[in-house]
Chain A
Amino acid sequence: MPKIELYKLFNKKGYILFSPHHPFFVEERFARYLKAFKGEKTEILLHVEDKEQEAFLLSLSEDFLRIQKNREGYTITPQKSAEEVLEYLKGAFFDTLRKEDTLLLEETKNRDLFYHYGRFRFRGFYGILHRLFPILFIMHGIPGFQPMTWDMLIGDPYFEDRNFFELLRHYQGISWGIERAFEDMTLRVVENRALQVLNDIVREDENGEGFAQAFRVCTRLGLGFLKDFFWPATQATEHSEWTKFMRPPVPLFPWREPQ
């Protein structure tokens, strides 16, 4: 069952979802889609601090639930049905994970097929080579070249074409897999202790350095991939090693201009 992991991280303002994957090595993600194409159901694992506190599905914005005050108390009007809420969540995953992966697929596919494009057309490499067929008879006097020439005229284009076909089939399968993976998926919420510790550190935000501390600790908690989140976060929001270059330099000893 292909699994997509999501971590619910605290980022001082609110919560964000972080998905650990490599930004440009595609194998892990594409393997997932190939499995989806073969008919396996995608599972999204949402890591949270505490399952008990997860009433986040109830505290939705006004688009989902409208609360109005009246004489007796409050009127609560659900704006959307449960199905619509699920559709909304699906749309959210669709917008982030799927869009990114589709672009990546196109890029990888074009890169891998670049070598093959146009090679088998009339004006392409093998087209020109085939028009050189009479060379076999011209070269009759030099028998040593015969095996190589046969190979170039008949062997190479045949096998290269097969490679082209295999690659096309492979990437077609992945693109169908992407479509299928986001059609039917299950969302599972799990409690993660390491995540809780990290979120607590950021929440406490000691010396205004919550992200820096979380950055140092996250590897030891087994969530090393979060370094890629905490380090830029440090750069954006906290005093860090880099800001010291933006200040006036500190003198090593008092300096006096010669009179």
Chain B
Amino acid sequence: MDEISIVFPYIFVYYTVKRSVEKETLVNWREDLKEVKVPLFILPARLLGWYEEGAWAACPSESLSEISTRFRGTSSFLLHFEVYSPSSSSPLSEGEMESILARFEGMIDEFLYSLSLYERLGWNYRFMFSLCLVAYIIGLFSVNTWWFIWFRQPYLALTGVDNWWKKKRLLGLARCKAWSISPGEDKRRQEALDELYSFYTTIPQGDPNYLERVIHFLEEQKKRNRAFSEIQRAYILLQKREQEESYLLKRIAHTTWTKVKRFFLGDLLLIPEVFVPHLCVPIRDLAFIPFQEKEEGDAQNRTLQALQ
């Protein structure tokens, strides 16, 4: 007993000093800066959203959580995107490349911002309600009646646990010190993308299942060239994004898990869920030449014009 009472203050002081030194020492992050290279593909597609109808998509072959596994354990890193696009007479200009980068950065910053804000409150609430849980258990043993089970607060000890898990995995993105983008130089990827594009042009316009057809084609070509599987992965992510970005599907509880969660937590969900962004942005259709064949102006109804 005496030994413990002697040692305890020293242990306490040791950890306090260690923590404050860690906090206050200026770390030169340039010394161990890891460059994380992510291939980014310009995918021929026809996006469907109101703000992106008919556009192509710029999409990396890894999702955000997969990218986040690559810098685990590094203190700081820089993210470099290598852009591969199908050969075209009007390639991407500097501004378009920079806008891809700015939008990615904006998406991730926005995500981290919401996550850290809600987690500050959520952590606090969880701690508070876990104390309620203790009180609840005391009540359980000290009271002989059953009515106290209607205390709803102990259930709230789970508020925002999904955000807590996201924070664990993805908050490391805040350690990204610099962002850059440049055209990629891997020939295999370039060839694969060109081949894919020549296949894409054979698909009839307006085919609703074009994404499945493209993915199937890439599945066949995968053994020949490893780059095809990367492109396939990017297309799968794009497909997933097209499904999940839908406003209706976000609102309606369409899966069993969402139904269960909303039934039990319902309006007790104080902390909103922060959605992990899909790293995918609309980009110019590189094959598009505006008004090649003269288009009729149909802002004014044509039949109406003829009648008047």
Q: How far is the CA of A34 from the CA of B121 in the complex (A)?
A: 18
Complex interface: chain A residues within 8 A of B54 (CB): 219-220
Q: Does B183 contact A (CB under 8 A)?
A: no
Q: How far is the CB of B79 from chain A (nearest CB, A)?
A: 12
Residue pair B98, A190 in contact (C-beta under 8 Å): yes
Q: Which residue of B lies closest to A252 (CB)?
A: B307
Chain A residues lying within 8 Å of B131, measured Cβ to Cβ, are 151, 155
Binds A, one of B59-67, B103-111, B163-171, B246-254: B103-111
Bound complex: CA A244 to CA B299 (Å): 10
> Cβ of B51 and Cβ of A192 under 8 Å apart?
no
- Whether B124 and A162, one on each chain, are in contact in the complex, defined by CB atoms closer than 8 angstroms, is yes
Selected from A31, A48, A147, A239, the residue in CB contact (under 8 A) with B136 is A147
Measured between beta carbons, the chain A residues less than 8 angstroms from B52 are 219, 222, 224
Segment 107-149 of B: residues with Cβ below 8 Å from A: 109-110, 112-114, 117, 120-121, 124-125, 127-128, 131-132, 135-136, 138-139, 142-143, 145, 147-148
A-B contact pairs, 22 of them (CB 8 A): A5-B102, A45-B95, A45-B98, A143-B143, A144-B143, A147-B132, A147-B138, A147-B148, A155-B131, A159-B127, A166-B120, A166-B121, A191-B93, A192-B95, A192-B96, A192-B99, A193-B92, A195-B95, A220-B288, A222-B285, A224-B51, A238-B299
**Across-interface contacts of B117 in A (CB, < 8 A):** 170
B50 within 8 Å of A by Cβ? Answer: yes
Let me know if B90 is at the binding interface, CB within 8 A: yes
* Chain B residues, Cβ within 8 Å of A194: 93, 95-96, 284
Minimum CB–CB distance from A62 to chain B (whole Å) comes to: 31
Q: Are B290 and A217 in contact (CB under 8 A)?
A: yes
Check if B204 is an interface residue, CB within 8 A of chain A. Answer: no
Proximity bits, B266-308, A CB within 8 Å = 1, else 0: 0000000000000001111100101100010101110010011
CA distance A240 to B121 in the complex (A): 49
Contact status of A190 and B95, CB under 8 A, knowing A1-B179, A147-B139, A244-B301: yes
B55 at the binding interface (Cβ < 8 Å): yes
Q: A163-B121, A166-B120 are in contact. List 20 more A-B contacts (CB 8 A).
A: A3-B106, A27-B113, A32-B109, A45-B98, A47-B95, A144-B147, A166-B124, A190-B93, A190-B94, A192-B94, A195-B95, A197-B290, A212-B299, A219-B53, A219-B55, A221-B285, A222-B55, A222-B284, A223-B284, A224-B52
- Asked whether, in the complex, the Cβ of A201 is within 8 Å of the Cβ of B290, the reply is yes
Q: What are the residues of chain B within 8 A of A130 when measuring CB–CB?
A: none
Interface residues of A (CB under 8 A from B): 1-3, 5, 27-28, 30-32, 34-35, 45, 47-48, 143-144, 146-148, 150-151, 155-156, 159, 162-163, 166-167, 170, 190-195, 197, 201, 206-207, 209, 212-213, 217, 219-225, 227, 234, 238-241, 243-244, 247, 250
Q: In whole angstroms, what is the CA distance A6 to B300 when docked?
A: 31
A239 in contact with B300 (CB, 8 Å): yes
Contact B307 A31 (CB under 8 A): no
Q: Considering residues A159, A206, A234, A238, which has the most beta carbons from chain B within 10 angstroms of its beta carbon? A: A159
Asked if residues B110 and A148 are in contact (CB atoms below 8 Å), the reply is no
Q: Is the CB of A191 within 8 A of B95?
A: yes
Shortest B258–chain A CB gap in Å is 22
Chain B residues whose CB sits within 8 angstroms of the CB of A217 once the complex forms: 290
B245 to chain A, nearest CB (A): 13
| Cα distance A31–B301 in the bound complex, in angstroms | 44
B178 within 8 A of A: yes
User: In whole angstroms, what is the CA distance A251 to B29 when docked?
Assistant: 75
Judged by a CB distance under 8 angstroms, whether B153 is at the interface is yes
Q: Is the beta-carbon distance between A219 and B282 smaller than 8 angstroms?
A: yes
Given contacts A28-B109, A151-B153, contact A250 B304 (CB under 8 A): yes
- The residue in chain A whose Cβ has the minimal distance to the Cβ of B112 is A31
Complex CA distance for A147 and B131, rounded to whole angstroms = 10
Shortest Cβ distance from A158 into chain B, in angstroms?
A: 8
